[in-house]
Structure formats: C-alpha cells, structure tokens
Amino acid sequence: MQAFEFTITYERGADELMDVFIENPGLYSKTISCNVSDGTMWRLDEVTGPTESLLAYDDVIEGLHRCTNLEGVGGCQIDWSHEVLVETANRRVIYSKQSEGPGCRSVPYLVRESLGDGALFRAEQYHDTYKWRVLVENDASLSPIYETIDAHLRSGLELRFERVDHSPEWDDRRSAAEDLSHEQREALQTAVEYGYYESPREVSLQEIANDEGIPVSTLQYRVTRAEAWLAKRYLSGFVEDPSESTNSGEDASPESEMSVSS
C-alpha cells in the first residue's frame, strides 16, 4: 500500500466553511469514515474546539449551500444534508450526505472515478488547511487526479500534492491529537509551521512568540506540555494515566512554566 496527500490552503473569503477554521484557530475536524459512490459522498466527521468556535461552525453548516469541494471555479449548488449525532460543549460528531455533480468534485470522488473501489480516505481541517490522505494499492498513480484538480482549482485555493515516502501509518495515533488542549495543539502546530522541529532548527521559540505576539513563557509552557504528552503517550503504548493528563491546568501557575530555550 502507498499513501498520498492532497493539501489545500484557503485564502480568507474563498470558502465560507473554511473561513470558520481560519477565524477560529482552536477548531479541528477529522473524518471518522468516508464513502463515495457514482453520485454521492457520505462521511462522518468529528469536530472539536472551544465552545464559541463550535457555535460558529454550527451556524455555517446549518446554512451551507455551496460546494466546498475542490474542482470547479466558484463552487456550485449542492444537495447537502447533515445530522449532528453527538453534541457537547467542545465536540461534535456529524453525519453528512453530499451530492457529486459536474464542476464540483471531491478528492474521494475523483479517486474512485479513476481507480475504482478500494481506496481509503481521511481528511483534516484546521486553520487555513484542508488535507486529504488517500491510501491505495502500490501500483496506483494519483498524478492525473492532481492534474485534474489543479487545472480547475477555484480562486483563492492553493493545492499541494505529494506521495508519502515513509510507510503510511493508518491507525488512530494522529486522531488522538484532540486529547491535547486547544492551546497546546495550536502551539505545537505553530512551532511545526515555523520550522522549529526542522534539523537544523530554523527558528527559536522566542522568535515565534515575537512574530505571533504572545508571551514567550506561555508558548514555551504549552509546547513543553504538548511534547511531554506526546512522548508519554507513545512510550506507554497510548495508555494514558488520567492523573498525568495535560488537559487539566492548561494555564497553570507561572511557577510551572519553564525557561525558554532557543
């Protein structure tokens, strides 16, 4: 098996649903299941975030009327319905059904149209990013699909396509990211985007904090707590001791904050 990624970044104003993620950095969505036929896509998504962010998300999906897929300039009208299966202050589980029509095609539809049945799909939405991961047979090529999408990509969207060279992980390790607090996940994501974890390191936490306009001690604290949570979860076989949960006391007393390293 081999894995491919379609990563789409959105300018503000290009898509009403993605605007909610851009305006609410703590919001995060991932697919639990995704299936597609000749004319329809069904999916189950889990959306997590601060209460206010989820309320803004609720408002948009209630009035959603335009295609949020990739192919087609400006999107198109869709036959879209949804049902909220789980609703808490910080979490939604949403079932949705969406038509696939000319000029408005999703990544799963185009993959199935090209390769037939057998591909697996996962998606994430956060900040300005909508990322599709596709798992297919070793001899499959998705380059023609990328070329099709790129040729019809609507204004305000940018597409990046790559084959994942390492052995693809298709378990639920990544899905556990929502167990981190929203502040810790956002800090970790920001550090990755700035190149903090590159080798050699491209930027210090001090520089990131200055650019983002936040106290460096706060950024250091959140990144350190997130790193500790990830390390413990990995080494313990993903069995978390509730007493060690990083969700409690996110903004603990300043005495617990570590000094900044470069």
Residue in the structure block whose two tokens are 């190149």: 195
Topology of the domain covering 180-256: Arc Repressor Mutant, subunit A (1.10.10)
Given strand 120-126, what is the order of strands in its sheet?
A: 80-88, 91-99, 40-48, 28-36, 120-126, 129-136, 2-10, 157-164
22-51 tens-digit pLDDT:
998 788 899 888 888 877 888 899 998 888
Range of weakest confidence among 134-143, 159-168, 210-219: 159-168
Please name every residue paired with 42 in a beta bridge, in sequence order, or none if there are none: 35, 97
The pLDDT value recorded for residue 103 is: 62
Sequence-separated (6 or more) residues with CB below 8 Å from residue 60 = 16, 17, 19, 20
50-95 tens-digit pLDDT:
888 899 999 988 877 655 554 443 345 567 788 899 988 888 999 9
The pLDDT value recorded for residue 176 is: 44
pTM: predicted TM-score of the whole model, two decimal places: 0.64
The answer on pLDDT for 193 being more than 70 is yes
Residue in the structure block whose two tokens are 């090529």: 141
Half-sphere exposure of 5 (CA within 13 A, CB side): 16
Q: Which two tokens stand for residue 14?
A: 């290009």
- Residue 15, classified by CB atoms within 10 Å of its CB into exposed (0-12), middle (13-18) or buried (19+), is buried
The answer on pLDDT for 120 being more than 60 is yes
Q: Are 49 and 26 in contact (CB under 8 A)?
A: yes
Any idea where the domains of the chain sit in the sequence? 2-164, 180-256
